[in-house]
Amino acid sequence: MGVHFGISVLFVVCLLGLSANAKDFTITAPPGSDITSLLLKTFNEACQFPTKSSVLIPKGEYKLRQIEMMGPCKAPIRITLQGTVKADGNVNGNDYWVAFRRINGFKLNGGGVFDGEGNAAWRANNCHKMALTQCKKLPISIRFDFVTDAKIRGITSMDSKNFHINVLGARNMTLEEITIIAPEESPNTDGIHVGRSVGVQIINSNIKTGDDCISIGDGTRDLLVERVTCGPGHGISIGSLGLYVKEEDVTGIRVVNCTLINTDNGVRIKTWPSAACSTTASGIHFENIILKNVTNPILIDQEYCPWNRCNKNKPSTIKLVDISFKHIRGTSGNKDAVKLLCSKGFPCKNVEIGDIDIKYTGADGPATFQCSNVSPTLMGTQVPKACSSPVTKLPGQ
């Protein structure tokens, strides 16, 4: 009995020891080479390793073509990017450059750079001239699709051809110390877009780009954005919502302790008139926001219709409920400091404004506070003086 017991214990100890051993893989290609095939092969090997594994891309500059790193993996996996990977100029109608998909227990870190080489592609962008479904498709730099229990830390995305980072279907994912860089004039280069995800956190990051610094799409729940500095860019936005059929509700969004510098918008919610769906965005809270020369610092726009691609006579059917703007201070780039432009079909409900101090020093000042189809609850002080317009209701409502 004693011999059998000893063997059993030894077997368990061996198993525990095996599970504790992580396997390290390293990309050994010389700088300047194309590492696409090698990286895919190495990732697949690491993904199939029975215990934790890591893939190192060392310092240096490497070429990287379109690549999809697909799980599920047998154990948690980490990619450490210390060098710079550069995209090629060939887009071929692809919707991504680098994709991480269906991985549980994923980490990406190392201080490295994803360089999307977007300059030539921006000149080819024609989405402002035609319907979204017809314009030339450009690749998103980095996609995280259905990634769970993930931490993305200390990476840089620069000069993406389209969105820098797109998060879809994530569960329990943190993006921390992310740096995003693109020129102010680069089109459609949203910094981080999150959609149909639960429990995402974007923390302590710096985003300079040509479109929304952070855009929050349909189906997003329990999102925290904290200590993010944005600018240039179009601000931090919920939406746009209502463009597509079968969109899902948005709920539980907190944007706190953020700074916006020289952005086209500050914190905003945007929905399309003549919306293709009827969903609800609720539990959205903006708090402790610092503004420096921000155009449209606080904005609810339920008549969002860029390039007149919709029917503004049909009010938005997206319902906005339980929204708050608190402790927001700084300077505005124009006199429209606060605009709450809600839908006449579905007026905003339970909107709170508390301790707003936004100054404007232009010749056409002072700053203004506009409301339509909303009666906000006011707390603390409001500079400029807050409106309290009556809610417009359609017959039968």
CATH of the domain at 82: 2.160.20.10
Domain presence at residue 396: no
Q: Mind listing the pLDDT tens digit of every residue in the chain (397 residues)?
A: 444 444 443 343 334 444 458 899 999 999 999 999 999 999 999 999 999 999 999 999 999 999 999 999 999 999 999 999 999 877 667 899 999 999 999 999 999 999 999 998 898 776 655 555 566 789 999 999 999 999 999 999 999 999 999 999 999 999 999 999 999 999 999 999 999 999 999 999 999 999 999 999 999 999 999 999 999 999 999 999 999 999 999 999 999 999 999 999 999 999 999 877 889 999 999 999 999 999 999 999 999 988 777 777 789 999 999 999 999 999 999 999 999 999 999 999 999 999 999 999 999 989 999 999 999 999 999 999 998 544 444 344 4
Separation of alpha carbons 21 and 172, rounded Å: 25
DSSP for 170-224, please give it: -EEEEEES-EEE--TT-TT--SEEEES-EEEEEEEEEEE-SS-SEEE-TT-EEEE
| Number of structural domains the chain divides into | 1
User: Residue 252 is inside which H or E element, if any?
Assistant: strand 250-261
Residue 8: the pLDDT is 43
pLDDT of residue 15: 42
Asked whether residue 185 is assigned to any structural domain, the reply reads no
- Residue 259 within any structural domain of the chain: yes
Q: Note whether residue 311 is domain-resident.
A: yes
User: Does the residue 107 lie in any domain?
Assistant: yes
Peptide bond into 72 cis (omega under 30): yes
391, part of any domain: no
Tell me, yes or no, whether 187 lies in a domain.
Answer: no
Q: Return the pLDDT at 11.
A: 41
Residue 220 is part of which domain span? Answer: 22-179+192-205+215-229+238-383
Residue 58 belongs to some domain of the structure: yes
Residues labelled catalytic: 234
278 near 308, Cβ under 8 Å?
no
